[in-house]
Amino acid sequence: MTLPTMEQGFAIRVRGQVQGVGFRPFVWRLARAAGLRGDVLNDAEGVLIRLVAQDCGDFIAALRADGPPLARIDAIEAVPQVFAAMPEGFSIAASAGTGAETRVTPDAATCPECRAEIFAPGRRQGYAFTNCTHCGPRYTILRELPYDRARTTMAGFDLCPDCAAEYADPADRRFHAQPIACPACGPNLWYEAGGKEVAGDPVALAVAALKAGQVVAVKGLGGFHLACDAANARAVALLRARKRRPSKPFALMGTEAMIRAHATPSEACWRLLRDPAAPVVLVPARGTLPEDVAPGMRALGVMLPYTPLHHLLITAFGGMLVMTSGNLSGAPQVTGNDEARKALARFADGFLMHNREIARRLDDGVERAEPPMVIRRARGRVPGTLPLPPGFDAAPRVLAFGGQMKAAICLTKNGQAMVSQHLGDLDDAETALEYDRTLRDLAALFDHVPELAACDPHPGYRATVTAEGAGPPLIRVWHHHAHLASCLGDNLWPLDGGTVAGIVMDGLGLGPDGTIWGGELLLGDYTGFERLAHLAPAPLPGGDRASREPWRNALARLDQAGLSAVADRLFPDAPRDLLRQAVGAGVNAPRSSSAGRLFDAFAALAGFAGAQSYEGEAAMRLEAMARPAAPYPFDCRDGIIDPAPMFRAAAADLAAGRDRGDMAGAFHVGLARAFCAPARALVQGGRARAVALSGGVLQNAFLLRECLAALDGLPVLLHRQIPANDGGLAFGQALVAAAQHMAAAKSL
């Protein structure tokens, strides 16, 4: 009996975002070029390569250096292995096993090859669903894992012979591209108006409607957009009136040339705009578009076309389009065709539709390039995972429920964290239902059975109520501790990295003392914190109404500063006496150290009148008008940062007729220095190893730059991939819960 020949080689495990991105054909080409024998396959843990070789160092180096555009390698593990009778050549083997131990790839913007293809003669010319392994839909069409066509919303589209041949050829960029399609076998477009389909070229019909000043609902990757001509003031005003969105800035879409015509992006902005995630990027405006596109703002939120349909539509239209979420303000984005016909009929004059279903709702992401910051984590970033910091290797599986505003959830598993897409504010009933659906969806999709749950302690948060009924042992994480931990985790701060000084500025969050916090200097790490300084608390007259009506906060702060007469002059028609009586009696006037409400107060002093039509409007307008100026004074004693001197100085400037932009700048600079001075002292005194900046207020680029200037020379931790706002709370909650659980287990 002849024994099989035994050959020395390696089993190489590649973990990360390596499925559905063309990684196996990349390995196939690499191995064949090197004359190596073996095979490559997908399995539940990622990609497995079996290689006959005496050494694999150069091969692994090439894997890391030359991978496909959408691949993200977390780890490569090579184990020596002896093979019996390995066939000649190198092959792609059938997938093995099931499960969810590897990443799901986010949706990716159209690659250059596919973009060229839709504008060139050929069978995909003008085809709105062209894609390959380097681009196209992933997460928004996925129903369940493992990721193959039968488990996506492409399952009902049988491949034609030409597409089948591309799909089966490892040398083709469409090898195993699950959304592969062409006009002969894939989804199709049509245009509807007046409740029925209109004959003709759907894109041309949509363009004609847009040029006529109409609003068109456009079905995209993760939902519908409402589109109109961004250069047509009447069309923009019409969309605002219909959507009941009086002043919140609209997102815009255009080609690079169009963006250059209306904005001045830096090179960092261009890199972010061209990223496969294709987010909305905040860039300086030229002032060439109607003011109603982004009222009171110096920046525009712009994005490049990220699907073939968008490329065809923008090119045919020939100008910048408003592309805002297809929903009533505050409600979730519409995804289904029938849903769109019912929900968007009052907004849209026509519908550019298609018959590829959207498996899950995803808004456009919003990001800033300088300094880099994710403001809304959504399409293109989700469901990408982030590594947990060093020291969390033994962390339990955690499900963190986030907060009430900008809701998102976080799942941790196998040393990775997956922060969900932005879901919205849970005060909205439809958003709350979407939140519940997402909890079920992600648990099933990622095969996630939590050992631990984490939530905010606020008893009124819907996320907290949901967490309390979830089942696993529950750890409640204080709001601002979660903000601090999310910044630490975003920077991979080690579990044993020591304490940091955390400047946390946001709107509202419950503190351990039962009051509402929001302007804090903390000293802490993942396991705990101390509150060392904070804004002097002020009442919130009218409770929740103070968050919507900035003059209420101005009244409270001016009264505290001994400037009641100034408040009387500024707000002559407001019910001041009634509110003062309520504050004096402690009726519906909780005290808060909120930096967000301080911004509202100063914005009202500087001329912002009326109620806010969206969260943060007054603060955003204040930032937009601010110019560099000498700081207003704050009184900092015994851990209390008192803005009363600042208001007295500002009131004097107001009476003297000082420019409001200078006043806004002096406020920003003064606030930054008031918080950064004690934070610097903590680092220089050896009590803290770095300064972390977190909270939604610190999305303000002017304030953030002033903080960085005041902290020059110190190690400073900033948010980059996780939102500084409440969209990052779940990530921080998960880290705190895991750290506290591991610390408790270690102490036993």
Is 42 labeled as catalytic in the residue annotation? yes
How do beta strands 640-642 and 529-535 pair?
Answer: parallel
Give the separation between CA 740 and CA 145, rounded to whole angstroms.
32
Nearest by Cα to 623 from 583, 663, 657, 589: 663
Taking the alpha carbons of 102, 108, 111, 115 in that order, is the dihedral positive or negative?
A: positive
* Cα end-to-end span (Å), the chain: 59
Contact 521/503 with Cβ under 8 angstroms? yes
Taking the alpha carbons of 277, 488, 424, 445 in that order, is the dihedral positive or negative?
A: positive
Strand partners, 410: 400, 419
CB atoms under 10 Å from CB of 88, counted, come to 7
Is 232 labeled as catalytic in the residue annotation? no
Give the separation between CA 126 and CA 542, rounded to whole angstroms.
56
Cα dihedral 650→654→657→661 (10° resolution): 60
Nearest by Cα to 130 from 191, 79, 181: 181
Beta strand segments in 382-440, E: 386-387, 398-400, 410-413, 416-419
Tokens of 167: 């799909």
Angle, in degrees to the nearest 10, between helices 595-605 and 550-560: 90
Give the separation between CA 380 and CA 109, rounded to whole angstroms.
8
Distances in Å between the alpha carbon of 731 and those of 601, 652, 718?
Answer: 31, 44, 15
Give the separation between CA 438 and CA 502, rounded to whole angstroms.
31
Q: What count of Cα atoms within 13 Å lies in the side-chain half-sphere of residue 392?
A: 30
DSSP helix/strand/coil, 53: coil
Beta strand segments in 53-114, E: 72-84, 90-92
| Catalytic member of 24, 37, 379, 557 | 24
| Catalytic member of 15, 37, 42, 700 | 42
Active site residue ranges: 24, 42
